[in-house]
Amino acid sequence: MTPLSFSRPGRWWLPALLLCVFPAGAEELRFELERTYRGWSGAMSQRSLSLWQQHTAASRQVLTRNYVISRKADWPAAIFDLPFRLPEIATLRHIATFERGDTANLIYFGRVDFGLLEGNVPENILLLKFLREKGRWKFDNTKFINLESDPGVRQLILNDELEFLQDPEFQPSGELPPVPRSIEGFDHPGEIWVASVGYETTVKIGDLHVTQVGNNIVTDVVIGGLSRSGLPISVGVRELPLPPGAERTLAVEIYALRPGKPAVRVWEHRPPEEKALEPLATRVFANAVTMQDKPGAQKSQ
């Protein structure tokens, strides 16, 4: 997976007593985590695989490699070819340090600059995640939280009203994630497209890929690729409040990617609204039958 994810906030207000609080020794922990992040970002700027491995959590190393291999991109060069600039935390305001078990988060507020915008960069939230392995903190990943749709949160931070940080979105999980299986090979690289409006849709393919989409349209690489002999695929759906002016939509499409040729759709799931919440478990194939250049991919039903 890429080291960065993007998010927009919802409405967060939960009882603070149910969640973790600022730990004792937070300043000392903060400086240790910041050293780890700077070591990781330095490895990225130097394009050093050995330094990257020293500063990156074991699970994230495998997830990143699997993502690169699933794209048929060059390993390890592709992990350093980010389409944006890593943000400089020294220019941001640190607003929280959280620790739970062997997991920790640093949270910053300010003009998080990825070098993608011209002119004035708006103030948003940057969350850095860390895992402790064998007593040493390692960098896991970054989450950028865009406050455009909820500008009142910016004012809360300016007023030092930080209770919303008790929401689970900002809290460390407390558990180390398992190290996934490392990909060795597959028949075809794949891509998944999910339109999920009025629903939260979770699609699992094989034992490596999970895409979860709520009130959004997302295109993603299929981690682990596609197989001629087929892979199990499941779709789970739960209803969400419908955004104003939107219509409920649920569609999942799987594409096989071919060098020098257009992608071909090999599987699709477009249930009628009355059946949208029904779980689905079947298989997806990328073979001579499903990859023919003609309309009508393999149907889910």
Read off the pLDDT of residues 41-92 as tens digits, 9 standing for 90 and up: 999 999 999 999 999 999 999 999 999 999 999 999 999 999 999 999 999 9
Read off the pLDDT of residues 127-178 as tens digits, 9 standing for 90 and up: 999 999 999 999 999 999 999 888 899 999 999 999 999 999 999 999 999 9
What is the per-residue pLDDT for 13? 30
Q: Give the whole-angstrom CA distance, residue 30 versus residue 296.
A: 54
Q: Locate 66 and state its tokens.
A: 């699997």
What is the per-residue pLDDT for 25? 64
Other CB atoms within a 10 A radius of the CB of residue 153 amount to 19
* For residue 285, pLDDT beyond 90: yes
Read off the pLDDT of residues 172-193 as tens digits, 9 standing for 90 and up: 999 999 999 999 889 999 999 9
- On average, the pLDDT of the chain sits at 89
Exposed / middle / buried, residue 250 (Cβ in 10 Å: 0-12, 13-18, 19+): buried
Q: How confident is the model at residue 256 (pLDDT cuts 50, 70, 90)?
A: very high
CA 248 to chain centre: 24
Q: Give the whole-angstrom CA distance, residue 201 versus residue 211.
A: 8
Q: How confident is the model at residue 294 (pLDDT cuts 50, 70, 90)?
A: low
CB 226 within 8 A of CB 266: yes
Domains of the chain, CATH where assigned: 4-170 (3.10.450), 190-299 (no CATH)
Per-residue HEC secondary structure of the chain comes to CCCEEEECCCCCCCCHHHCCCCCCCHHHHHHHHHHHHHHHHHHHHHCCHHHHHHHECHHHHHHHHHHHHHCCCCCCHHHHCCCCCCCCHHHCEEEEEEEECCEEEEEEEECCCCCCCCCCCCCEEEEEEEEEECCEEEEEEEEEECCCCCCHHHHHHHCCCCHHHHCHHHCCCCCCCCCCCCCCCCCECEEEEEEEEEEEEEEEECCCEEEEEEEEEEEEECCCCECCCCEEEEEEEEECCCCCCCCCEEEEEEEEEECCEEEEEEEEECCCHHHCCCCEEEEECCCCCCCCCCCCCEECC
Q: Which of 141, 65, 57 shows the shortest CA–CA distance to 106? A: 141
Q: Give the whole-angstrom CA distance, residue 128 versus residue 126.
A: 7
* Sign, Cα dihedral of 291, 294, 300, 301: negative
- Torsion on CA atoms 239, 141, 189, 220, rounded to nearest 10: 30
* For residue 257, pLDDT beyond 50: yes
Q: Which of 248, 232, 231 shows the shortest CA–CA distance to 195? A: 248
Read off the pLDDT of residues 9-25 as tens digits, 9 standing for 90 and up: 433 332 222 334 444 46
